[in-house]
A and B are shown apart, each in its own frame.
Chain A
Amino acid sequence: MSISLSRLTKRYGPNVVVDDVNVEIPEGSLTAILGPSGSGKSTLLKLIAGLEVPDEGRVIIEGDDVTDVDPRYRDIGFCFQHYAPFRHMNVSKNIGFGLRVRKQPKDVIEVKVRELLELVKLEDKANSYPAQLSGGERQRMALARALAIEPRVLLLDEPFGALDAIVRTELRHFVKELHRQIKVTTILVTHDQDEAMEVADQLLIMHAGKIEQAGEPTELYERPATEFVHSFLGPTTLFKGVAVRPHDLELVSPSVGSIEGVVTSIMELGFEIQVTITLSDGSTPWVQMSRNEFRALGVTTGSPVSVRERVAQ
């Protein structure tokens, strides 16, 4: 295991922000800590980096207990949500900072910085200042700066949070690809479940300071251990009093003479269509289907329909 957290607890006054967290993070994995804001996920990341001091528990990295080790000696690459650029240094100087602190020879630094510039595709921005970069470029610079010290662990705090949708998607692919190339154990914190499902090979779902469930994304999606994980990972809708995935429901023609419900709204989201039905018992489940399925059904608002759970094929 690359990182083990045992009984890790952090309080701010009376608030328990991280509550008795026990987690093992496998070597070389790309783990996403996923949770709503205020769930303690960023604090957990800072505890691993040493930027916050735990009230209880231990942080073990590659077998070393680093709980009492100053962050500067933990060999951890940390990327901040707002990139934390050194604004008076150009991109090269930013990336080389950790190496200069480590008193590496000039020529070694130069070679290393050039490699990293290439890795994060910022070769032509080497002499630009952070103020002259776009959000995505700043984030890539921050990644290169963190990677320069060849960290044992790479920690990313909401790495895509401050970017617009298109750059965000680009950078997600970039991080995934980067991880494939350099295989450093990486943990990223996010509140966006799509992002977590797409990028990570391991998920930690956090809620109110506790880990709700850990495991592979598919496993968590299909076999959520708690109600919270179920509702947080992907959409849910209430059908017969039970929370189900709206794509596990389907619409069928009502049997003759028995109208079980009517279509009350249709939302067309490109490929995906969401149809809301008002059933005779007053409940309003919604059903998720593809555009093709929707066309084949041929329903419109007001159509009488019946709802049932999809039969696994």
Chain B
Amino acid sequence: MDLPAKPSSSLLGAPPARKGWRRFAVRLRSSSGAIGGGSLIVGYLSIIVLIPIAAVVAHGFSFSIHTQGWGGAFWHWHLTAGFGTFWTDVTQPAAISAIRLSLWLSLSVAAINAVMGVAIAWVLVRDSFHGKWFVEAFIDLPFALPTIVVGVVLLFLFGTQSPLHIDLFETWMGLMVALLFVTLPFSVRAVQPVLASLDGEAEAAAKSLGAGGLRTFVSVVLPSLWPAVLGGFGLAFARAIGEFGSISLIAGGIGRTTTASSYIYNLTQGFLWTNAAAVSTALLVLSLIILIASNVFARRFQHRLAP
């Protein structure tokens, strides 16, 4: 379907010049997304996200800031010394094992939920059954529940006194169960709307051309879902690697089940702020790499699908 071309903005003529804040307001309104909206977004992101992150990174590298007199007014950073302490902090055996645990747990949790997310979204979109509305609402529960509540529930269910006789206390499996629970909505909700938007004609076409159910799913449905699946993967991973509340109880207090976030928390309890900031920075960089990677892949798929 070809959409009619949008009327070119030049038809509307240039907005009349105005003075002072009114002109600014006009510009904000007329070009939101261009200059006005762009600077607004950058400004907001700076205050909410970038500056705090920069502070942590700076602290992690133990940068000290001197002004060299009022005239110079530029900052001198002790880069070499900072990097040295940073490296020692993040290469502590305990730090390495915590980061490693967080990484592989989060990657596997995001991967498992990517698969389960597609399956659950499929059932929610394509099937109708009794109590579907309840499942729909239940999926979002991890969004709403304070994570420490999840931690308490899991400790009750899978702790040493487990009524199910499944003792996951102080095991990686306990952590994984917690992370699978809190990240599930990301995986399901990322895929669901895309799946719902498929009209089924392409699937019917594949069928009429002789493809079976599995073939149709793998070569017709799944390719349309990839960007969404990868998006959900990225979000689930990010949530998992930062998760603290839901795993803090079932992890117990031993090194084997100390994730990066718990490790950082433990450091802060010992007032080791610089160490904490250094490990945080390492975690931040790793998360960024994985988020960017999943975005790049998603874009690559999206690029071809764009109408």
Question: Is chain A's binding surface mostly helix, strand, loop or mixed?
Answer: loop
CB of B224 within 8 A of chain A?
yes
Shortest distance from the beta carbon of B296 to any chain A beta carbon, whole Å? 17
Shortest distance from the beta carbon of B267 to any chain A beta carbon, whole Å? 47
Across the interface, do A84 and B307 meet the contact criterion of CB distance under 8 Å? no
Across the interface, do B208 and A102 meet the contact criterion of CB distance under 8 Å? no
CB of A85 within 8 A of chain B?
yes
Across the interface, do A84 and B205 meet the contact criterion of CB distance under 8 Å? yes
Known contacts A72-B211, A72-B212; is-contact A82 B306 (Cβ 8 Å): no
CB of A80 within 8 A of chain B?
yes
Known contacts A101-B210, A101-B211; is-contact A78 B305 (Cβ 8 Å): no
Of chain A, the residue at the smallest CB distance from B202 is: A84
Q: Which chain B residues in 272-307 approach chain A with CB under 8 Å? A: 301, 304-307
Across the interface, do A72 and B1 meet the contact criterion of CB distance under 8 Å? no
Shortest distance from the beta carbon of B273 to any chain A beta carbon, whole Å? 49
Of chain A, the residue at the smallest CB distance from B199 is: A82
Instruction: Name the contact of A131 in the complex, choosing from B202, B211, B305 (C-beta under 8 A).
Output: B305
Known contacts A87-B224, A88-B224, A135-B1; is-contact A78 B205 (Cβ 8 Å): yes
Across the interface, do A51 and B223 meet the contact criterion of CB distance under 8 Å? no
CB of A294 within 8 A of chain B?
no
Residues of B near A131 (CB, < 8 A) are: 304-307
Of chain B, the residue at the smallest CB distance from A103 is: B210
A sample of 10 inter-chain contacts (CB < 8 A) reads: A51-B207, A72-B207, A80-B205, A82-B1, A84-B201, A87-B223, A88-B301, A131-B304, A131-B305, A146-B208
Across the interface, do B208 and A76 meet the contact criterion of CB distance under 8 Å? yes
Given contacts A72-B207, A76-B208, A87-B305, list 9 more A-B pairs with CB under 8 A.
Answer: A51-B204, A72-B209, A74-B208, A80-B204, A97-B211, A98-B209, A131-B306, A134-B2, A135-B1
Q: Which chain A residues in 29-84 approach chain B with CB under 8 Å? A: 49-51, 71-74, 76-78, 80-82, 84
CB of B194 within 8 A of chain A?
no
Residues of A near B204 (CB, < 8 A) are: 51, 71, 78, 80, 84
CB of A239 within 8 A of chain B?
no
CB of A145 within 8 A of chain B?
yes
CB of A162 within 8 A of chain B?
yes
Residues of A near B202 (CB, < 8 A) are: 84-87
Q: Which chain B residues in 234-284 approach chain A with CB under 8 Å? A: none
Complex formed: what's the CA distance from A74 to B205 in Å? 13
* Complex interface bits, B200-241 against A, C-beta within 8 A gives 1, otherwise 0: 011011111111100100011001100000000000000000
Across the interface, do A97 and B206 meet the contact criterion of CB distance under 8 Å? yes
Residues of B near A142 (CB, < 8 A) are: 205
Known contacts A86-B202, A88-B224, A162-B1; is-contact A49 B208 (Cβ 8 Å): yes
Across the interface, do B210 and A88 meet the contact criterion of CB distance under 8 Å? no
Residues of A near B206 (CB, < 8 A) are: 86, 97, 101
Complex formed: what's the CA distance from A146 to B202 in Å? 12
Residues of A near B201 (CB, < 8 A) are: 80-82, 84
CB of A221 within 8 A of chain B?
no
Complex formed: what's the CA distance from A98 to B2 in Å? 27
Residues of A near B301 (CB, < 8 A) are: 88
Residues of A near B223 (CB, < 8 A) are: 86-88
Residues of B near A76 (CB, < 8 A) are: 208
Please give me the 5 A-B residue pairs with the lowest Cβ-Cβ distance, nearest first.
A98-B209, A84-B201, A88-B223, A84-B205, A78-B208
Across the interface, do A145 and B209 meet the contact criterion of CB distance under 8 Å? yes
CB of A203 within 8 A of chain B?
no
CB of A187 within 8 A of chain B?
no
Across the interface, do B210 and A149 meet the contact criterion of CB distance under 8 Å? yes
Complex formed: what's the CA distance from A81 to B199 in Å? 12
* Complex interface bits, B1-30 against A, C-beta within 8 A gives 1, otherwise 0: 110000000000000000000000000000
Complex formed: what's the CA distance from A40 to B99 in Å? 62
Shortest distance from the beta carbon of B303 to any chain A beta carbon, whole Å? 9
Shortest distance from the beta carbon of B4 to any chain A beta carbon, whole Å? 10
* Complex interface bits, A137-149 against B, C-beta within 8 A gives 1, otherwise 0: 0000010011011
Complex formed: what's the CA distance from A149 to B212 in Å? 15
